[in-house]
């Protein structure tokens, strides 16, 4: 699930959902203020504020991927939003832990390629950069079975994308 945060340009949180709150806690280990916007995320927001100052008549969407010291990988999207209750425009942040983001992409691809449930499991691990041996161990299948499924996956992928061999 996406974390959703609405911030003012003064770094004040107008709204934060549970997913974003948990992610902020992971990014701020040991911090007393779990809802404090992590400095890595604020840096992306600050870039958005600067972009608006330089190009006031353009609409911007900034996407970034952040890899923190606390071993958290985050995909961030920032855009402007105007709320009735707040005078100034606010920043709308969608934050997703990277593993979840990649999993969503892999699941969409698996559906598009028409993969079986076993192929889908293998594809998810493959897209998470697992080597074939590790996929086999994780799913309690042989290495040859992984290779057979990957061959089938690649054939279905090529067919779905219209790629000829």
20 & 82 share domain: yes
Using left for φ > 0, alpha for ψ between -120 and 50, and beta otherwise, residue 88 falls in: beta
**Could you tell me the two tokens for 145?**
């079975």
Quick: pLDDT tens for 42-65. 999 999 999 999 999 999 999 998
For residues 82 and 8, what is the distance between their CA atoms, to the nearest angstrom?
10
Residue 59, exposed/middle/buried by CB under 10 A (0-12, 13-18, 19+)?
exposed
Query: Residue ranges of the alpha helices (H) in 6-128?
Result: 18-27, 39-54, 98-113, 117-127
> Residue 120 has what pLDDT?
93
Task: Note whether residue 9 is domain-resident.
Answer: yes
Q: Does the pLDDT value for residue 136 go beyond 80?
A: yes
Q: If you average pLDDT over residues 141-152, what whole number do you get?
A: 97
Q: Whole-prediction pTM value?
A: 0.65
Per the structure, the complete domain to which residue 76 belongs is given by 3-98
Residues 132, 79, single domain; the answer is: no
- Greater model confidence, 68 or 149: 149
Question: Around Cβ 85, how many Cβ atoms within 10 Å?
Answer: 6
Report the chain's mean pLDDT, rounded to a whole number: 89
Instruction: Tell whether 88 is covered by a domain.
Output: yes
Tens digits of residue pLDDT in 1-32: 689 999 999 999 999 999 999 888 888 877 66
């Amino acid at each position: 699930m996406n974390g959703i945060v609405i911030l003012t340009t003064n770094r004040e949180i107008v709204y934060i959902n549970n997913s974003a709150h948990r992610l902020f806690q992971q990014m701020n280990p040991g911090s007393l203020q779990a809802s404090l916007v992590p400095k890595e995320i604020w840096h992306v927001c600050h870039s958005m504020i600067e972009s608006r100052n330089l190009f006031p008549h353009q609409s911007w969407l900034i996407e970034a991927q952040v890899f923190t010291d606390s071993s958290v990988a985050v995909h961030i999207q920032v855009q402007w939003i105007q709320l009735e209750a707040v005078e100034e425009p606010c920043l709308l942040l969608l934050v997703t832990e990277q593993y979840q983001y990649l999993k969503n992409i892999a699941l969409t691809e698996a559906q598009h390629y028409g993969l079986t449930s076993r192929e889908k499991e293998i594809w998810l691990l493959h897209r998470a950069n697992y080597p074939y041996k590790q996929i086999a161990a994780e799913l309690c299948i042989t290495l040859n079975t992984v290779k057979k499924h990957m061959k089938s996956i690649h054939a279905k992928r090529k067919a779905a994308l219209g790629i000829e061999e």
